[in-house]
A = this chain, B = another copy of it.
């Protein structure tokens, strides 16, 4: 029997997270100067084996996970074991990802061709459409207790530290039951979702049986990302779009939105709800 290395290969990583907020002086409506916190924002160019892929505008507090999750959600990298290292260099505003030999990442990038995007700088929330693949997904039906939704919303309200101090960020979380497994805030909700995807790979957390929470809207893109990660439930403070709903219906994703306090609306998958907290 051959020797089996049971240790997962994870990349060598820098730990170059920026402080997420800056203290500045603003003038309030009484003409008085006040010291306030604002959210950071920095351009981060993602290079894979020295080939430029995209520039993301990010809070910059979890750049390594963001880079990994972006490559995962763009389907440029199929397995985290294909990544040798992830090194952030803020002086060059660049994250350098090095792949292992034979990972074929750059072939895939060439193959995807026009789907992949490079921007000289600026915001790049680009989603390489994998709609055809997406319709093959059928998420498993899992029951969701109403009481768990309420416990989870209470737990989540303790996590959005950057938003509370500085605003201008969205939060995304991966949850199991009422446990918040991961919580990421970023200036773009797509970045926050990508960083969650990166952490899921790094920590070997599968999507099944989890709930993905976001403060942002449930658009087609958020539904696609959840579906690709195998996450069966999306929960949001905000509303949904029609295309988000249609995709959720197609892949059996439970869509719960406008969730604040005791209120929420189930737009898809109401048959999975267990109404154990109805007054």
Contacts and interface: CB of A to CB of B under 8 A. Distances in A.
Interface of A: 22, 24, 26-31, 34, 36, 38-43, 52, 55, 57, 114-115, 117-129, 131, 146, 166-168, 187, 190, 217-221, 224, 238-245, 258, 262-267, 270, 273, 275, 278-279
B128 A42 contact: no
Nearest to A121: B129
B128 A125 contact: no
A24 B267 contact: yes
Q: How many copies does the complex hold?
A: 2
A171 to B, nearest CB: 13
Given A38-B239, A267-B38, A127 B117 contact: no
Contact of A24 (B22, B39, B118, B245): B245
Given A38-B240, A39-B241, 6 more contacts: A28-B265, A38-B239, A40-B241, A41-B244, A117-B118, A168-B240
Contacts of A264: 28-29
